[in-house]
């Protein structure tokens, strides 16, 4: 029986290869070392996967840069029927798209803005819910026709 259920809300991938795990509650003790937990803590990939075993949440929200070692983790989680969401300023690698259940794409630069329709043409047949968050509020007006132009994309 699993004690100390940890409701994970999101994972932030840091450049140090340690993952910042945020919880919906911070009064729980760590399931394997019995230390008091805060509402966010850094973990290595190995400890993150162990921690996830004690989570009652079947969805994982990854935020930040995409590391090469993440593919193995995402594949494993998908095989275990986790729902995977990525939130990033980068467009994710094409081979990772089948692993995704949802994408939040933060468009923050003019370079990203210039490539947006290329990615939308590619994504339009993937049927992955997509949310685009523009840095500049004026870009929402400029690209207001995109949902009508790409109706097969699940806009949220």
CATH code of residue 107: 3.20.20.70
Indicate if 27 and 70 belong to the same structural domain.
no
Determine contact, residues 114/86, Cβ cutoff 8 Å: no
Exposure of 148 by Cβ count < 10 A (0-12 exposed, 13-18 middle, 19+ buried)?
exposed
What pLDDT, on a 0 to 100 scale, did the predictor assign at position 3?
37
Indicate if 2 and 74 belong to the same structural domain.
no
Q: Quick: pLDDT tens for 81-113.
A: 888 877 777 766 677 778 888 888 888 888 888
In angstroms, the CA 37 to CA 28 distance is 6
Indicate if 44 and 67 belong to the same structural domain.
no
Count the domains in the chain.
2
In angstroms, the CA 10 to CA 33 distance is 21
| DSSP codes of every residue in 40-74 | EEEE-HHHHHHHHTT----EEEEEE---TTHHHHH
Segments in 1-63 forming alpha helices (H): 45-52
Indicate if 53 and 84 belong to the same structural domain.
no
Q: Is the pLDDT of residue 115 over 80?
A: yes
Indicate if 99 and 52 belong to the same structural domain.
no
Indicate if 66 and 51 belong to the same structural domain.
no
């Amino acid at each position: 029986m699993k004690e100390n259920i940890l409701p994970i809300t999101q994972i932030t991938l840091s450049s140090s290869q340690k993952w910042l795990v945020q919880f919906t509650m911070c009064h729980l003790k760590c399931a394997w070392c019995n230390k008091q937990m805060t509402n966010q803590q850094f973990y290595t990939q190995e400890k993150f996967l162990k921690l996830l075993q004690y989570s009652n949440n079947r969805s994982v929200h990854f935020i930040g840069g995409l590391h090469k070692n993440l593919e193995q983790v995402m594949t494993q989680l998908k095989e275990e029927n986790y729902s995977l969401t990525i939130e990033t300023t980068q467009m994710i690698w094409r081979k990772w798209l089948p692993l995704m259940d949802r994408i939040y794409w933060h468009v923050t630069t003019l370079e990203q803005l210039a490539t947006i329709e290329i990615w939308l043409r590619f994504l339009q047949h993937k049927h992955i819910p997509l949310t685009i968050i523009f840095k500049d509020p004026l870009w929402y007006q400029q690209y207001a026709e995109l949902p009508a132009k790409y109706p097969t994309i699940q806009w949220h």
